[in-house]
Amino acid sequence: MTELLRTLKFLLFSLSAGIIELGAFSLLNELTAWSYWPCYLIALVLSVLWNFTLNRRYTFQSAGNVPKAMIQVLGFYCVFTPLSTWLGGYLADTLGWNEYLVTLLNMAANFILEFLFDRFVVFRDSLDTNSVAQKHPRK
């Protein structure tokens, strides 16, 4: 039950990050003449900062080393971002796929991969250790 609740929290916070990402992407895509990749990249960075902050505190309830966790997440995005940016640019700019469809596909891949990475790499040894977890221990 604990992991189901953790997954649902991650989903809800990821949806809020998705709103930020889509909003930022839409503004940049519609109001600038930029190609796909800078719009996507800026929107992704904004959503990652939001998502990391909320999920660290409330989903994984980690009191672990914040700089270490941020570096690990940065490492994830050092792989994910170039691949998703390149693939998104190829699909949108070269093959002519709809930019919003491509962004939604990237967001779905990001959701799944980041949850797994956060749960089993970044926060695996510090789950449920912060003050939020101490006030409301899970059974």
* DSSP per residue, 50-71: HHHHHIIIIIS---S-HHHHHH
69 in Cβ contact with 118 (< 8 Å):
no
> What CA–CA distances, in Å, run from 95 to 37, 74, 100, 102?
14, 29, 14, 11
21: confidence class by pLDDT, cuts 50, 70, 90: very high
**In this structure, what token pair is assigned to residue 59?**
């989903």
Cα distances from 54 to residues 9, 13, 57, in angstroms, run 10, 7, 5
- Inform me whether the pLDDT recorded for 58 exceeds 70: yes
Q: What is the pLDDT of residue 7?
A: 94
Residues of the chain with pLDDT > 90, as a percent, come to 85
Residue appearing with tokens 């929107």: 43
Q: What is the pLDDT of residues 80-135, one digit of tens each?
A: 999 999 999 999 999 999 999 998 999 899 999 999 999 999 999 999 999 998 88
